C-alpha cells in the first residue's frame, strides 16, 4: 500500500471510532477529569472539575490506578523473572544467567533517562479508566538509553490481524516545525524548513504508522515497518524496517467484533458515578434550603429587601395588621427524607468501591488460630477474587512491556554476545513470571502443598514404610525454592548435587567396607585368642604333659 492509502485507512479508523471517543469523554469527566479532552480542547488553567459535586468517583479510579503499579511493579523488589518456556532447558547455569539478565534489564528500565516510571504511571490510570493504554518503547535520540512514553488514546487507533493480535497502529502527532527538522534532517518538506525558520514553534500535523511489512511492500524480511508521514504536505519523512512493533497496547476486557477494550471498573461504576453526583447535588441543595429556607413576603407590607443573614433587618410597614398573617415568613418544607439520603449515598459509594475492585485488593491476613487448611482456603478465595484484575494485567501489560524491552536490549547488545549464553538457552523462547499478590498467593499455595505432602507421607509411613520412597524430595524442594524466589546462586547446580550425593554414597560404602573389615579382623583376633585359651586349658588339665612338653 502507498503512504496515501495507509493514511486513508487511518482516517477511516478514526472516523469509525468517533462514538467511542464520546463514551471515553463521559468516562473521563466522571472518573478521570485530567484526561477528559477526547472531544474538546482544554485551555490551560480551565477548572476541570467544575461539573462535579463529589470527588469519590475520582478517588476510586485513583486508588485502582495507583494499586496497579504498587502491586504489579513494586520498585522495592524485583517484580519480573525470566525462564525458558521449555522446562528441559531449565538448569542452574541457565537460572544464573537469567537472573543476571534480570538485573541488567531492571537497571536499564529504571534509568532516569528512560522515564519508565512516568510512562507506566500514566498508562496505569488510562488502563484503569478506559481499559487500555498506548505505550511506546524505543531508544532515545542519543541511542544510549531506552525511552518509554504513553500516548493519548484520542490520537491512536489500531487494527487486529487474522490472529486477533494488533497488526497496525496509527498515531496522530503534532510536533513543532523546529523539532521535525531536527528529527528528520534533510528529509522534511521545503515548506516545513521555511516554516521552521519563520515560525519555529508552529505545529505540523504528522502521522506515525507502524504496520506489518506485508501491508507495506512485502519485500523486507523484518516483520514491521515504521513510517513517519507528514500529513500536511503529503510526504514520507522516514520508513524503517524493524524487528519490534514499538508499541505496547495492553487491553483489559475485550468483546468480540471490536479491537478496543473496556474497563470493567468504569463500565460498572459509571451509572453509580452519575447517580452519586446527582444525589450529592440534590442533597446539597436541600441542605441549603433547610439552612436558608425560601421566604414569602406580603406585597406592599415589606418596605425593604428581605434580609435572612444573621443579624439582618427587614423593614415592614408600621400600619400592617399582623392578624392577617406574618409579613415575612419561611415556606414550610418537609425534610423528613434527608436522613435516608445519607444511607443511599453510603450504599452508592459501596457499589463504586466494589466496581473498582477496592474490596478485593488486600491479601487476607492469617490469624494465629487458623489451621493450614483454613489458610489455604482463604488464599484460594483471594485468588478467585483477584484473578480478573491481575491476570490480564500480568500477561498483556507487564508481559508485553518486558518482552518488548528484552528484545530491544538483546538486539542492541545489552546482554553481550548470544554465544556467551549457556548452551541450554541459545535459541530458547523466554517467558516472564511476575511478582504480585496473585503470584505470591499461588506460590504460597505451592509451599502449602509441599507441607501437606509431608504430612500425608508421614501418616502413610506409619502404615507402610515403602511410602517414604514415593516423593522426590529434592525435586519438590527445588521447585518450592524457585517458586519463593530463592536466588539460583544460593542453590547448588544439579550436577554438583549429584556429585555430592555420589561422594556421600561412596563414603558410606567405604565406611561400611571398613567396618566389615574391622569386624572380620576382630573375629580373627577373637578366634586366635580362643585357640590359645583352649590350649592353656588343656595344659592345666594334664600337668605331666605340661612338664614333658619342653623336653
What is the pLDDT, as a whole number, of residue 453?
78
Q: Is the pLDDT of residue 538 over 90?
A: no
What is the pLDDT, as a whole number, of residue 127?
95
Q: Is the pLDDT of residue 350 over 70?
A: yes
Q: Is the pLDDT of residue 398 over 60?
A: yes
Task: Name the pLDDT band for 288 (thresholds 50, 70, 90).
Answer: confident
- Measured CA to CA in angstroms, residue 17 lies from 258, 310, 328, 537 at distances of 10, 56, 58, 117
Burial class of 143 by CB neighbour count within 10 A (0 to 12, 13 to 18, 19+): exposed
User: Cα–Cα distance between 211 and 5 in angstroms, integer?
Assistant: 13
Mean local confidence (pLDDT), 441-462: 72
The predicted model scores a pTM of 0.75
Q: Are 57 and 269 in contact (CB under 8 A)?
A: yes
Return the bridge partners of 225, or none.
211, 241
Burial class of 520 by CB neighbour count within 10 A (0 to 12, 13 to 18, 19+): exposed
What is the pLDDT, as a whole number, of residue 485?
63
Q: Are 116 and 110 in contact (CB under 8 A)?
A: yes
Most confidently modeled of 21-30, 282-291, 519-528, 529-538?
A: 21-30
What is the pLDDT, as a whole number, of residue 191?
93
Q: In what order do the strands lie in the sheet with 134-139?
A: 146-151, 134-139, 247-248
With CA atoms as reference, report the closest residue to 54 among 283, 287, 269: 283
- Measured CA to CA in angstroms, residue 275 lies from 26, 263, 285 at distances of 14, 19, 15
Return the bridge partners of 330, or none.
295
Least confident residue range of 380-384, 440-444, 491-495? 440-444
With CA atoms as reference, report the closest residue to 168 among 1, 371, 321, 288: 1
What is the pLDDT, as a whole number, of residue 546?
46
Instruction: Tell me the DSSP string of 416-475.
Output: --GGGS-GGGTTPPEEEEE-SHHHHHHHHHHHHHHHHHHHHHHHHHTT-GGGGGSS-HHH
Q: Is the pLDDT of residue 549 over 60?
A: no
Mean local confidence (pLDDT), 293-314: 68
Q: Are 501 and 509 in contact (CB under 8 A)?
A: no
Question: How much is the mean pLDDT over the chain?
Answer: 82
How many residues are present in the chain?
Answer: 551
What is the pLDDT, as a whole number, of residue 551?
37
Using DSSP's 3-state secondary structure scheme, residue 206 falls into: strand
What is the pLDDT, as a whole number, of residue 550?
44
> Who has greater pLDDT, 41 or 456?
41
In the chain, % of residues over pLDDT 70: 79
Helix 18-31, helix 56-72: angle, nearest 10: 100
Q: Is the pLDDT of residue 349 over 50?
A: yes
pLDDT in tens, 83-92: 888 777 778 7
With CA atoms as reference, report the closest residue to 149 among 161, 165, 138: 138
Using DSSP's 3-state secondary structure scheme, residue 477 falls into: helix
Helix 372-392, helix 437-461: angle, nearest 10: 150
- Nine-digit cell string for 466: 515403602
Q: Are 107 and 145 in contact (CB under 8 A)?
A: no
User: Cα–Cα distance between 6 and 168 in angstroms, integer?
Assistant: 10
Task: Name the pLDDT band for 516 (thresholds 50, 70, 90).
Answer: confident
Element (H, E) at 354: helix 338-355
What is the pLDDT, as a whole number, of residue 23?
95
Q: How many CB atoms within 10 Å of residue 423?
A: 11
- Nine-digit cell string for 309: 443573614
> Who has greater pLDDT, 455 or 256?
256
What is the pLDDT, as a whole number, of residue 91?
80
- Measured CA to CA in angstroms, residue 486 lies from 260, 356, 370, 375 at distances of 40, 34, 27, 23
What is the pLDDT, as a whole number, of residue 444?
61
What is the pLDDT, as a whole number, of residue 547?
44
pLDDT in tens, 321-343: 676 767 676 766 666 666 777 88
pLDDT in tens, 130-150: 999 999 999 998 888 999 999
Q: Is the pLDDT of residue 104 over 90?
A: yes
Mean local confidence (pLDDT), 199-222: 87
Q: Is the pLDDT of residue 539 over 60?
A: no
- Measured CA to CA in angstroms, residue 237 lies from 207, 221, 226, 232, 242 at distances of 10, 21, 11, 12, 16
Amino acid at each position: 500500500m502507498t503512504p496515501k492509502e495507509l493514511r486513508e485507512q487511518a482516517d477511516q479508523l478514526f472516523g469509525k471510532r468517533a462514538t467511542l471517543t464520546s463514551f471515553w469523554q463521559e468516562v473521563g469527566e466522571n472518573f478521570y477529569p485530567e484526561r477528559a479532552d477526547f472531544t474538546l480542547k482544554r485551555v490551560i488553567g480551565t477548572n476541570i472539575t467544575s461539573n462535579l459535586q463529589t470527588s469519590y468517583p475520582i478517588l476510586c479510579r485513583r486508588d485502582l490506578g495507583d494499586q496497579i503499579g504498587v502491586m504489579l511493579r513494586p520498585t522495592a523488589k524485583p517484580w519480573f523473572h525470566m525462564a525458558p518456556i521449555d522446562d528441559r532447558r531449565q538448569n542452574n547455569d541457565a537460572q544464573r544467567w537469567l537472573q543476571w539478565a534480570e538485573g541488567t534489564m531492571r537497571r536499564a528500565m529504571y534509568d532516569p533517562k528512560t522515564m519508565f516510571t512516568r510512562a507506566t504511571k500514566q498508562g496505569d490510570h488510562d488502563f484503569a479508566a478506559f481499559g487500555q493504554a498506548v505505550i511506546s518503547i524505543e531508544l532515545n535520540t542519543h541511542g544510549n538509553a531506552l525511552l518509554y512514553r504513553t500516548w493519548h488514546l484520542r490520537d491512536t487507533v489500531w487494527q487486529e490481524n487474522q490472529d486477533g493480535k494488533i497488526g497496525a497502529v496509527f498515531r496522530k502527532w503534532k510536533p513543532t516545525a523546529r523539532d521535525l527538522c531536527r528529527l528528520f534532517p534533510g528529509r522534511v518538506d521545503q515548506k516545513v524548513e521555511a516554516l521552521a525558520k519563520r515560525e519555529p514553534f508552529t505545529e505540523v500535523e504528522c502521522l506515525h504508522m507502524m504496520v506489518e511489512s506485508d501491508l507495506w511492500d512485502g519485500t523486507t524480511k523484518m516483520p514491521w515497518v515504521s513510517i513517519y508521514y507528514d500529513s500536511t504536505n503529503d510526504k514520507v519523512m522516514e520508513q524503517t524496517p524493524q524487528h519490534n512493533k514499538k508499541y505496547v497496547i495492553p487491553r483489559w476486557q475485550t468483546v468480540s467484533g471490536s479491537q478496543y477494550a473496556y474497563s470493567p471498573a468504569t463500565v460498572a461504576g459509571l451509572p453509580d458515578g452519575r447517580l452519586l453526583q446527582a444525589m450529592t447535588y440534590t442533597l446539597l441543595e436541600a441542605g441549603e434550603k433547610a439552612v436558608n429556607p425560601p421566604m414569602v413576603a406580603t406585597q406592599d407590607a415589606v418596605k425593604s429587601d428581605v434580609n435572612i443573614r444573621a443579624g439582618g433587618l427587614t423593614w415592614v410597614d408600621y400600619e400592617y395588621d399582623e392578624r392577617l398573617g406574618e409579613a415575612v415568613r419561611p415556606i414550610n418544607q418537609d425534610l423528613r427524607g434527608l436522613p435516608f439520603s445519607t444511607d443511599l449515598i453510603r450504599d452508592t459509594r459501596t457499589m463504586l468501591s466494589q466496581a473498582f475492585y477496592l474490596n478485593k485488593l488486600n491479601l487476607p491476613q492469617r490469624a494465629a488460630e487458623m489451621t493450614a487448611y483454613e489458610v489455604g482456603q482463604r488464599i484460594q478465595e483471594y485468588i478467585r477474587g483477584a484473578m480478573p484484575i491481575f491476570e490480564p494485567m500480568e500477561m498483556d501489560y507487564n508481559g508485553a512491556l518486558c518482552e518488548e524491552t528484552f528484545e530491544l536490549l538483546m538486539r542492541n547488545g545489552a546482554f553481550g554476545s548470544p554465544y556467551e549464553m549457556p548452551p541450554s538457552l541459545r535459541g530458547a523462547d523466554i517467558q516472564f513470571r511476575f511478582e504480585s499478590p496473585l503470584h505470591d498467593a499461588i506460590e504460597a499455595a505451592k509451599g502449602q502443598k509441599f507441607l501437606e505432602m509431608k504430612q500425608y507421607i508421614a501418616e502413610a509411613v506409619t502404615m507402610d514404610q515403602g511410602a517414604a520412597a514415593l516423593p522426590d524430595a529434592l525435586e519438590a524442594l527445588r521447585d518450592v525454592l524457585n517458586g519463593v524466589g530463592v536466588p539460583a546462586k544460593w542453590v547448588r547446580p544439579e550436577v554438583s548435587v549429584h556429585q555430592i550425593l555420589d561422594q556421600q554414597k561412596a563414603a558410606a560404602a567405604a565406611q561400611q567396607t571398613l567396618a566389615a573389615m574391622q569386624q572380620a579382623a576382630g573375629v580373627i583376633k577373637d578366634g586366635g585368642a580362643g585357640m590359645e585359651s583352649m590350649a592353656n586349658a588343656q595344659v592345666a588339665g594334664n600337668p605331666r604333659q605340661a612338664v614333658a612338653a619342653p623336653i
